[in-house]
């Protein structure tokens, strides 16, 4: 993940560390689902990089999911950040076509901004 130039990769890196903390472990207990997130630098579907946020095992890995994720999302880089930092509500992102969802809808509904750690600013 460190070699990715996506902004989202920075956040997902932080997510990876976050899942090792107590707050992160609570997330695993609370949600217990596997999400795949496909992020495209400019246009959805083009040059996508896939990440797996495994809230069963508490891991974040690069590359597509080995099994079937509970839900898979597609974003454009900026839009993922907007959703993860609470700038954009996931429902609105979905309605506007800024977020595509595959898989279980109930799993997708648990994909909310509060599962992601917030980046601090220097």
Partner 1 sequence: MAMRELVTGGTSCPVPGSSSSSNPVAALAENLFGAASKTRDSVRELPGITRTGHPDASFYPGTDGQSALPGLEYYQQPGAQGSEFLHAYRADPAGFGGVWDEIQRPQLPPFAHPREIQGAPHLADLQIYDHGASSQLQPTLDGPPQRVLSSFLHSFVGSSRAGVPFRPVALPVLGLSEGDKQCIRDRSSIMARHFFADKSEDFINSQVNALLHSLEIDNDLRAKGHLPGRFHEFEEHWNESQGAVRAGPSHPSGRWAAEYNQQIVSRGDPESWARSFEQQHGSNGWATEFEQEQSQMISTGQMQGANNSNLAAMEQTRMLAHTLAQNDDPKFQNSKFLQFVSKMSRGELIIDDNQVKPAEASASGDWADEYQQKHYGIHNSWADQYARDEHSYGVDTWASEFATEQEKTGLVDDQWVNEFSKLHVQDWAEEFAQQVDEGAVGQNSADNWATAYDEYLNEQTAAKQRSDASRGVYVFSDMNPYVGHPNPLKEGKELFRKGLLSEAVLALEAEVLKNPENAEGWRLLGITHAENDDDQQAIASMMRAQEVDPANLEVLLALGVSHTNELEQAAAIRYLYRWLQHHPKYGHLASPEKSESLYYADVARLFNEAAQVSPEDSDVHIVLGVLYNLSREYDRAIESFQTALKLKPRDYSLWNKLGATQANSVQSADAILAYQQALDLKPNYVRAWANMGISFANQGLYEESIRYYVRALAMNPKADNAWQYLRISLSCASRNDMLDACDSRNIDFLQKEFPL
* Residues near partner 1, by CB under 8 A: 2, 5, 7, 10-11, 13-14, 17-18, 20-23, 26, 81, 85-89, 92, 95-98, 113-114, 117-122
Nearer to partner 1, 10 or 48 (CB): 10
Alpha helices in the chain (DSSP H): 7-18, 22-30, 77-84, 90-95, 105-109
CB of 110 to partner 1, least distance (A): 13
In this structure, are residues 93 and 99 in contact, taking their beta carbons and an 8 Å threshold?
A: yes
Element (H, E) at 51: strand 49-54
Sequence-ordered list of residues with C-beta below 8 angstroms from that of 46, at least 6 positions apart, any chain: 40
Nearer to partner 1, 21 or 66 (CB): 21
CB of 47 to partner 1, least distance (A): 16
- CA–chain centroid gap for 64, Å, is 12
Nearer to partner 1, 66 or 119 (CB): 119
Nearer to partner 1, 26 or 66 (CB): 26
CB of 51 to partner 1, least distance (A): 14
CB of 13 to partner 1, least distance (A): 5
The three-class DSSP label of residue 101 is strand
């Amino acid at each position: 993940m460190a070699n990715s130039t996506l902004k989202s990769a920075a956040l997902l890196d932080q997510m990876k560390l976050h899942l090792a903390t107590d707050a992160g472990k609570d997330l695993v207990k609370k949600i217990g689902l596997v999400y795949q997130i496909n992020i495209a630098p400019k246009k959805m579907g083009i040059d996508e990089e896939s990440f797996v946020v495994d809230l069963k095992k508490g891991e974040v890995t690069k590359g597509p999911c080995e099994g079937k994720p509970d839900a898979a999302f597609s974003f454009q880089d900026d839009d993922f950040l907007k959703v993860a930092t609470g700038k954009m509500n996931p429902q609105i992102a979905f309605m506007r076509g800024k977020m595509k969802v595959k898989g279980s809808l109930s799993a997708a509904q648990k994909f909310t901004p509060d599962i992601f750690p917030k980046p601090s600013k220097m």
